[in-house]
Amino acid sequence: MGKIKTVVLDIGGVLVGFDFRDFILSKGNDPEMTERIIRDTVHSIWWKEYDRGYMTDDEIMDKFCEGDPEIADRIRATFADIKGMLTRREETIPWIRALKAAGYQVLLLSNYSQRALDGCPDANDFLDEADGGILSFRDHLIKPDPAIYRLLMERYHLVAEETVFVDDTPENIDAAVALGWAGVVWHDRAQTERELHALGVNW
């Protein structure tokens, strides 16, 4: 092994699929309506507040609908059942197990709502495989706030130079690198593996 001892993994877009556009289309929305819903939900400031965990589902939905009251009924109907918004990746559990078998501590660090946890049980079946981590709604902190990274370091006694973070959002990786971690921006599995191997992370 190289100097990396801990591999920290994001969830949405890395360990599970998160194709919100296809999900919204699957709820009977045409492309134009889908873009309107995305603008007022996933791309709104309130989506991150959902992940922060202070607001209830009803409060968040009200905020989503305030952005475009004309389509409030469509927004509510679309998110009434979120099963399928996050999709299981068959390679996730074998990957976590392989990293652990190679001697790495595997932790999670994700902006994640209680709704995402409860509403997509099939996609979340890997959670017990990891050695721990932080789901944002539990600690009311979200990436890229440095506080959530520091909390993970304190909780699991991490050494910055021995930690690598994999996330599909560049600003989240930038925040980790600023604290001394190594970072890999996920584009796909093969590219991520190549970059991890280049850092000495092998399994």
| C-alpha span between 165 and 108 (Å, rounded) | 9
Compute the distance between CA of residue 168 and CA of residue 78 in angstroms, rounded to an integer: 25
Q: What is the pLDDT of residues 119-171, one digit of tens each?
A: 999 999 999 999 999 999 999 999 999 999 999 999 999 999 999 999 999 99
The Cα 149–Cα 107 span in angstroms is 12
Of 109, 116, 86, 91, nearest in space to 193 by CA: 91
pTM of the model: 0.93
Contact 60, 116 (CB under 8 A): no
Residue 2: pLDDT band with limits 50, 70, 90: low
CB of 135 closer than 8 Å to CB of 127: no
Structural contact between residues 51 and 137, judged by C-beta atoms closer than 8 angstroms: yes
* pLDDT score for 198: 96
**Dihedral over Cα of 144, 139, 162, 9: its sign:** negative
> Residue 111: which pLDDT band, with cuts at 50, 70 and 90?
very high
- SS3 at position 144: coil
Mean pLDDT value of segment 11-38: 96
Q: What is the pLDDT of residue 29?
A: 97
Domains of the chain: 6-18+87-198 (3.40.50.1000), 20-78 (no CATH)
User: Tokens at residue 132, please?
Assistant: 């721990």
DSSP percent split of the chain into helix, strand, coil, nearest 5: 50, 15, 35
**Partners of 77 in the β-ladder:** none
pLDDT in tens, 25-69: 999 999 999 999 999 999 999 998 989 999 999 999 999 999 999
